[in-house]
Amino acid sequence: MKRKTNKNLILGGLLVGIMLCMIAVGFFWTPYDPEAMDSADKLAGVSFSHLMGCDNFGRDIFSRVLKGSGTTLFVAVGTVLIGAFFGMLIGAFTGYFGGIADEILMRVNDVLFAFPSILLALVFISLLGSGTYNVIIALGIAFIPSFARIVRSEFIRCRDMDYIKSARLMGAGSLRIMFVHILPNTVPVLLSAVMIGFNNAVLAEAGMSYLGIGVQPPDASLGRMLSEAQTYLFSAPGYALFPGITLILLVLGFSMLAEGIREQNQSGQG
Amino acid sequence: MMRYVAKKLAGLAATVLVVSFLVFAAFAVIPGDPATSMLGTQATPEKVEALREEMGLNDPLPKRFARWAVEFIQGDFGTSYSYQMPVSSMVGEKIPVTLALTLLAFLMMVAMSIPVGIFCARHAGGFLDRAITVLNQVIMAIPPFFSGILITLLFGLILHWFTPGGYISYTQDVWRFLGYMVFPAFAIALPKAAMAVKLLRSSVLSEMKLDYVRTAYSRGNRTKSVLYRHVLKNALIPVVTFLGMALADMVAGSIIIEQVFNIPGLGRILLTSISNRDYPVVQAIIVCIAFLVIFVNFAVDLIYKLVDPRITLD
């Protein structure tokens, strides 16, 4: 059968690539200082000097979107790293060894998994206090169960396969089997999960910053900009629309990439 | 069936116990002394110590948990630190607001997704199906609070269908309350409906490939009767699981949407309590929502069993 071109993978990769380039540019250079206020330009409309207009303090929205998406991505990366690392460890040990510890951990995991992750993060925020790094920790912990679940089922699938048995016969230790033999085989599934994780992390960060418990002012964050923009929705709709659309493009890119990777895995197996 | 329910109920009780203990322990180990924060910074150490003794804070953790659990079952959720009033009366009047919002959103999601999902599956590959699939992908990427803002802009500020921020309490006028709630509920329902459509579509399509469908066709059934009498029942099984999870997510989603539409529900108190470090309130709300989530999962398991007799006791 002719191999279908994987539209999701290409489009998603392109979208994420463009967004990453913009964020990288915003890291080193923005048209204006994202925190510089200019009272003459309060709520200015779209123009050549201000591509997306200005906010209620006369700050350039385009510069703030660039910086803000960087903050959002930074939180997302941190979150996914924490979630994936600890989720992988827990999933690997429970999946490989099984037993009572597995039973208990998975019971707890089931409950946490069913619990909406943003609420879980809110619990940790109320314990830790707000701020960028606390949001990363809180969301990261909230993301552990979903990664643990995925890695665990992959380990259970692999642990009795022939190549593992032969590795065991050759005298490889459990740790070596787990991390040198099984782990590389979970990468395709894990990669798709990481992309979905990015997708959810961006959404969750934006939600928490919107509620005012995430990134603190004057730092720019897409969610924070949206909550500030809401007051000026009628007089300056662009103030809300541009950060919102950026957010959508970012999420869309990651979700398409996840879908594309999943399709790629299936066609590889089929 | 009774044995199944009994077994599930035992599991339910165990989970409820473990979860509430975890929440209780989490709030018990955080730094900061409730007695000190209630009395303020000027309090003498003797006074703080007396209050600690009176509040039972000097007892070991399991004993405190047991006392808290018994009081919780009796409907006494403790006293708010910052408002000095019983948490149960603070939370009690807000629950109907959030519950109404969540249920409305849930009904909208089901009403939107099931017909559209079936339509897409029947006309798979057609122009409308492809258009809806693309639209779905975009809708799933819109965070609910942003669609809430867009809805405010479109229906509130441009079309004037409702007054943004003009919330009317359900005690004043139930119909106008619901009329206002339609818009936030729509914002919550939209992304979940998109996911449900996608799931239902692929579930129906994969069922259509199975042998029993071919048999049904060979007995002279039309597409319509095969779809509605044979396929749909099986295709809905994964969707039921999703709907259960979505309901739990919607409770969390409503907390954010309440801020967008200025609705004084559970979300509002939860957020102010978090910033005031008013732990009894946060704790009560979190435990209530956790119970709701656990209970919904339990209900989904039971519905599962009813829909699909193939699922056995284990």
Q: Is residue A3 part of a domain?
A: no
**Span A175-194, average pLDDT:** 85
Nearest CB among B27, B137, B146 relative to A252 is that of: B137
Q: Is residue A179 part of a domain?
A: yes
Does residue A269 register a pLDDT over 70?
no
pLDDT at A3: 59
Nearest CB among B152, B294, B297 relative to A233 is that of: B152
Cβ neighbour number for residue A262 with a 10 Å cutoff? 19
Nearest CB among A118, A130, A255 relative to B140 is that of: A255
Collect all residues with Cβ–Cβ distance below 8 Å to A216 and sequence separation of at least 6.
Answer: A130, A131, A132
pLDDT in tens, A58-68: 777 888 888 88
pLDDT in tens, A218-268: 777 888 888 888 878 777 787 888 888 888 888 888 888 888 888 887 776
Q: To probe the interface with B, which of A126, A128, A222 has the most B CB atoms within 10 Å?
A: A126
pLDDT at B15: 76
Measured CA to CA in angstroms, residue A87 lies from A96, A178, A180, B52 at distances of 14, 14, 17, 39
Q: Percentage helix, strand, coil, to 5, in chain A?
A: 75, 0, 25
Cα gap A194→B247, rounded to integer Å = 24
Cα gap A11→B287, rounded to integer Å = 42
Exposure class string for A167-190: b at 16+ Cβ within 10 A, else e? beeeeeeeeebbeebbbebbebbb
For residue A1, what pLDDT band results from cuts at 50, 70 and 90?
Answer: very low
Q: Is residue A34 part of a domain?
A: no
pLDDT in tens, A87-115: 999 888 888 888 887 877 777 777 777 67
Q: To probe the interface with A, which of B23, B29, B149 has the most A CB atoms within 10 Å?
A: B149
pLDDT in tens, B11-45: 778 777 877 787 778 777 766 666 666 666 666 77
For residue A188, give the CATH number of its domain: 1.10.3720.10
Task: Count the domains in chain A.
Answer: 1
Cα gap B111→B13, rounded to integer Å = 33
pLDDT at A81: 93
Q: Is residue A192 part of a domain?
A: yes
A114/B138 touch (CB, cutoff 8 Å), yes or no: no
> Chain A: nearest CA to B220, how far in angstroms?
32
User: What DSSP character marks residue A221?
Assistant: -
Cα gap A164→B60, rounded to integer Å = 48
Range of the domain at A107: 52-269
> Chain B: nearest CA to A164, how far in angstroms?
29
Collect all residues with Cβ–Cβ distance below 8 Å to B133 and sequence separation of at least 6.
Answer: B120, B198, B201
Collect all residues with Cβ–Cβ distance below 8 Å to A78 and sequence separation of at least 6.
Answer: A136, A140
Nearest to A253 by CA among A16, A7, A9: A16
Residues belonging to chain A with any Cβ–Cβ distance to chain B shorter than 8 Å: 107-108, 111, 114-116, 118-119, 122-123, 125-127, 130, 199, 203, 206-207, 210-213, 223, 226-227, 229-230, 233-234, 237, 240, 244, 247-249, 251-252, 255-256
Cα gap A260→B44, rounded to integer Å = 64
pLDDT at A112: 72
Q: Is residue A10 part of a domain?
A: no
> Chain B: nearest CA to A116, how far in angstroms?
5
Among A94-103, A122-131, A139-148, the range of highest mean pLDDT: A139-148
pLDDT in tens, B72-95: 777 777 777 777 778 888 888 888
Q: Is B228 exposed, middle or buried (0-12, 13-18, 19+ CB in 10 A)?
A: exposed
Q: Is residue A164 part of a domain?
A: yes
pLDDT at B31: 64
pLDDT tens for each residue of chain B, 314 residues long:
777 778 778 877 877 787 778 777 877 776 666 666 666 666 677 777 777 777 767 777 788 888 888 887 777 777 777 777 788 888 888 888 888 888 999 999 999 999 999 888 888 888 888 899 889 888 888 888 888 888 888 888 888 887 777 777 777 787 888 888 889 999 999 989 999 998 999 888 888 888 888 888 888 888 888 888 888 888 888 888 788 888 878 888 888 888 888 888 888 888 888 777 777 888 888 888 877 777 877 887 777 777 777 765 44
Nearest to B101 by CA among B271, B234, B285, B247: B247
Q: Is residue A61 part of a domain?
A: yes
* Lookup: tokens for A41: 């330009």
A263 with A8: CB under 8 angstroms? yes
Q: Is residue A136 part of a domain?
A: yes
